[in-house]
């Protein structure tokens, strides 16, 4: 199974944070294509719930780490869904999982190529494919997305 996620053009978007993923029966591989950016969307990172978590995190280092994880993720994540169904232990750097990581990387690369997905370049074109932008010049949403990505 393959998946993609975009933040460009989404409510609360600040920086592009494209995510692509591949999964089989046992493992889930996630590739965060712009891990240096801050992941932010209005429905997750703003409001009473996240504000209360931030307040609680002042005295709870584990919660503070989880909140930080909500905003910035590593370039790659690999989870063993049988041993860790809640996906709390990233195995991407575990040498024992190198073969599974390489296999799913390859599967994702192949799927992205088949779909014409060029990663961040494709992400920045998302506004040209979103319903609210149909009928507008394709250049204008792309120009705005690229300008936003630089900020």
| Backbone φ/ψ region at 98: left (φ over 0), alpha (ψ -120 to 50), beta | alpha
Q: How many domains does the chain have?
A: 1
pLDDT exceeds 90 at position 8? no
Distance separating alpha carbons of residues 117 and 123, to the nearest angstrom: 8
- pLDDT-derived band at 142 (thresholds 50, 70, 90) equals low
Residue 48 placed within a domain: no
- 92 lies in some domain: yes
144 part of a folded domain? no
- Indicate the average pLDDT of the chain: 86
Q: Note the pLDDT of residue 77.
A: 97
Structural domain includes residue 16: yes
Q: In this structure, what CATH number is given to the domain that contains residue 90? A: 3.30.1120.10
- Residue 51 inside a domain? The answer is no
Classify residue 105: in a domain, yes or no: yes
Q: Residue 146: inside a domain, yes or no?
A: no
Distance CA 28, CA 104 (A): 8
Write the burial class of residue 88 (CB in 10 Å: 0-12 exposed, 13-18 middle, 19+ buried).
exposed
* Crossing angle of the two packed helices 61-71 and 48-57, in degrees rounded to 10: 140
Per the domain annotation, does 31 fall within a domain? Answer: yes
Report whether pLDDT(135) > 50: no
Query: Containing domain of residue 100, as a range?
Result: 2-37+72-118
């Amino acid at each position: 199974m393959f998946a993609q996620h975009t933040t460009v053009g989404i409510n609360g978007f600040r920086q592009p944070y494209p995510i692509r993923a591949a999964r089989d029966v046992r493992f889930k591989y996630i590739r965060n294509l712009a891990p240096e950016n801050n992941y932010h969307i209005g429905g997750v990172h703003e409001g009473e719930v996240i504000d209360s978590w931030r307040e609680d995190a002042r005295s709870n280092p584990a919660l503070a780490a989880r909140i930080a994880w909500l905003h910035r993720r590593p370039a790659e994540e690999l989870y063993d869904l049988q041993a860790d169904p809640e996906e709390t232990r990233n195995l991407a750097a575990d040498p024992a999982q190198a073969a599974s990581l390489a296999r799913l990387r390859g599967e994702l690369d192949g799927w992205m190529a088949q779909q014409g997905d060029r990663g961040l370049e494709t992400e920045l074109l998302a506004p040209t494919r979103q319903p609210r932008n149909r009928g507008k010049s394709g250049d204008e949403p792309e120009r705005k997305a690229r300008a936003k990505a630089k900020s």
